[in-house]
Structure 1
Amino acid sequence: MHVPDGFINAPVSVATGVVAAGAVAVSLRGARRELGERTAPLAGLMAAFIFAVQMLNFPVAAGTSGHLLGGALAAILVGPYTGVLCVTVVLLMQGILFADGGLTALGVNITDMGVVTTVVAYVVFRLLMRALPRRRSTVTVASFVAALVSVPAAAVAFTLIYWIGGTTDIPIGEVFKAMVGLHVLIGIGEAVITAATVGAVIAVRPDLVHGAKGFAAPLKLRVDGQLVDAAPAAPAAKPAVGVATRSTRGLLAGGLLTALVLAGFVSYYASSSPDGLEKVATDKGIDRNVEEHASADSPLADYGVKDVDDARLSGGLAGVIGVGVTVVVGGAVFWVVRRRRVDGTDVAAAEADASLAEKV
């Protein structure tokens, strides 16, 4: 759903840029509350993983494909504030290096793909976690539903933005029906990927899953026909620091390897059909005023390495480079955010910025 240059007029592009900048500023403060010593590296890996999986377009209808947006996955694994930053890092790398998503439309893309998907998904996730039985499987189920809802929500948000600032005169009702209809189907793929990834991580390291914190229900005993809380069990011995560190490093190494394989090899077999927004733009005429990307001459434009003629090798190298750059940039951003918390800078402000989603 990367919006290119020329779809949205300048005033609305500027306005969404202001919204995006404000959201990123708030997220930088909120992320200090979410990031811990072990979760900061996970957040950098999360950005790289989203980048890799977004290269894997999957077919959803005749002549149409979809790909992961990633807001739900990031919000559930590393927290909503950190999730916004993860998606923002991905969109920056895609726009600057790979000419994917217009630079003048960066505010639109961050607002739509980063903020809307993350906020909607996390609110739905927290509501379900409160309503459903508190067990481990609930996290996976809630992840599936939250991700499914987040994608058509982003489609609705784009339609609203286009209604206000679209550069072509298209009946907005037609755009709405086409966008939401296709993105409900894409949402199913998003939900499957999100639930599978969250389930895999929670099976290995539930303590690293932001959305799973405190999910265990107290043990109940039946006494004289009534359920009462059992006496709390003695706390289990904590694993040695070295064991926990090795476990975290193993998870990070495995996640990075998976991202590299997906971007460097599996991406070659992804669907080449246009994604949901591209399909609607072509069918409805939204793309009449599309502009050439400012980074069209980038050595990595269109996810290929310039002057490498072999398509498989070119795409694979571009994917590997993208994962590497994203994990380095994302890791650096989250390291700095984490260090500011450790150093005590703006901690009071960060703590006062209590997560809205946690109160929902």
Structure 2
Amino acid sequence: METHAVAMHMSDGLVNGGTALSFGVVAIVALAVALWRARADLDDRTAPMAGLVTAFVFAVQMINFPILPGASGHLLGGALVAILVGPWVGMICISIVLVVQCLLFADGGITALGTNITNMAVIGVLTGFLVATALRRFAQRSRAGLITTAFVAALVNTVVASLGFVLEYAIGGAGGATLGTVFVLMVGLHVLIGIGEGVITAATVGAVAAIRPDLVYLLRGSATPLERRTATAGGADSTGRVQ
């Protein structure tokens, strides 16, 4: 496994058929649960935002940023969607992106679609949401707190998702590289990729919160919601606070 080939998208043949099939089942079950749970989260705020974040993640994932010579990374989007639309809707959003990328752009193998969904849509989104939820009180205090929370959640979700990749390779790796090599390259590079992920996520969440904090899933039910930059949108009082 050469450095330039290291990426979160797993290709066909990188793990054996049994492993690919097993994680395909994991992905199907996880998405079935997400579809069931997402019904409670989809409303007139979340549904449009889900479409927007899906399109945004798809577009940004097409852009790679350099990490080291011969290695690059792109947005995974797990923490971003979890913070903006919640974990269940977020899992569906990332899965849609991965399916389209696989079928139309050959980004990630068809037989590896289950492993990629497990890593990025399931592990990545749930990790991002758990970290963000743990820091929720801090995120509610100020826009700076929310931005910091988004950065940390994105960094952690990227590294943990890469560990999912390593676990799958440990179970049924067929790529010819040793497990130690895969671990060092995947985790080491994704610590660096996670920094870029954190910056993009923090900037995006911060931009949304500056205009419409009521659209940020993580801030729902906040006793001390962030102030809007403007008070012209519906649902805000004269001070610009979300009611």
TM range (shorter): 0.7 to 0.9
CA contact (8 A) 2:84 2:205 kept: yes
1:33 to 33, 36, 40: 40
Offset, 1:190: 0.3
Q: Which residue of 1 aligns with 2:165?
A: 158
Offset, 1:214: 2.9
Q: Secondary structure at the match of 1:65?
A: strand
Offset, 1:134: 2.7
Instruction: State the distance in 2 between where 1:126 and 1:191 align.
Output: 16
1:171 aligns with 2:175: no
1:92 aligns with 2:99: yes
Instruction: State the distance in 1 between where 2:221 and 2:149 align.
Output: 15
Larger radius of gyration: 1
Offset, 1:97: 1.0
Instruction: State the distance in 1 between where 2:107 and 2:57 align.
Output: 14
Residues 197 and 132 from structure 1, CA distance in 2 versus in 1: closer, same or farther, beyond 3 angstroms? closer
Q: Secondary structure at the match of 2:107?
A: coil
Instruction: State the distance in 2 between where 1:77 and 1:116 align.
Output: 17
Report matched runs for 1:12-161 at 5 Å: 12-130=19-137, 134-161=141-168
Q: Secondary structure at the match of 1:142?
A: helix
1:215 aligns with 2:222: yes
Instruction: State the distance in 2 between where 1:123 and 1:5 align.
Output: 30
Instruction: State the distance in 2 between where 1:187 and 1:11 align.
Output: 30
Instruction: State the distance in 1 between where 2:46 and 2:139 align.
Output: 26
The 4+ residue runs of structure 1 with deviation greater than 4 A are: none
Offset, 1:133: 6.7
CA contact (8 A) 1:134 1:216 kept: no
Instruction: State the distance in 1 between where 2:21 and 2:176 align.
Output: 20
Instruction: State the distance in 2 between where 1:135 and 1:45 align.
Output: 24
Q: Which residue of 1 aligns with 2:4?
A: none
TM-score computed with the length of structure 1 as normaliser:
0.59
Q: Secondary structure at the match of 1:47?
A: helix
Instruction: State the distance in 2 between where 1:27 and 1:165 align.
Output: 27
Q: Which residue of 2 aligns with 1:189?
A: 196
Report matched runs for 1:201-350 at 5 Å: 201-217=208-224, 244=234
Q: Which residue of 2 aligns with 1:344?
A: none
Q: Secondary structure at the match of 1:34?
A: coil
Instruction: State the distance in 2 between where 1:168 and 1:148 align.
Output: 27
Instruction: State the distance in 1 between where 2:83 and 2:139 align.
Output: 16
User: Which stretches in structure 2 are left out of the alignment for 5+ residues?
Assistant: 1-7, 226-230, 236-243
CA contact (8 A) 1:28 1:82 kept: yes
Offset, 1:164: 0.3
CA contact (8 A) 1:135 1:215 kept: no
TM-score computed with the length of structure 2 as normaliser:
0.87
Instruction: State the distance in 2 between where 1:213 and 1:41 align.
Output: 16
Identity of aligned residues (%): 54
Offset, 1:244: 4.0
Offset, 1:135: 2.9
**Higher mean C-alpha displacement, 39-48 vs 127-136:** 127-136
Q: C-alpha offsets along residues 250-299 of structure 1, whole Å, 9 cap, x if unaligned? A: xxxxxxxxxxxxxxxxxxxxxxxxxxxxxxxxxxxxxxxxxxxxxxxxxx
The one-letter code of the counterpart of 1:97 is L
Offset, 1:130: 3.5
Residues 132 and 201 from structure 1, CA distance in 2 versus in 1: closer, same or farther, beyond 3 angstroms? closer
User: Which stretches in structure 1 are left out of the alignment for 5+ residues?
Assistant: 219-237, 246-360
The one-letter code of the counterpart of 1:173 is G
1:199 aligns with 2:213: no
Q: C-alpha offsets along residues 228-258 of structure 1, whole Å, 9 cap, x if unaligned? A: xxxxxxxxxx97xxx649xxxxxxxxxxxxx
CA RMSD of superposed structures (Å): 1.9
Offset, 1:46: 1.1
Residues 153 and 135 from structure 1, CA distance in 2 versus in 1: closer, same or farther, beyond 3 angstroms? same
Q: Which residue of 2 aligns with 1:6?
A: 13
Q: Which residue of 2 aligns with 1:338?
A: none
CA contact (8 A) 2:138 2:146 kept: no
The alignment covers a number of residue pairs equal to 223
Q: Secondary structure at the match of 2:40?
A: helix
CA contact (8 A) 1:139 1:211 kept: no
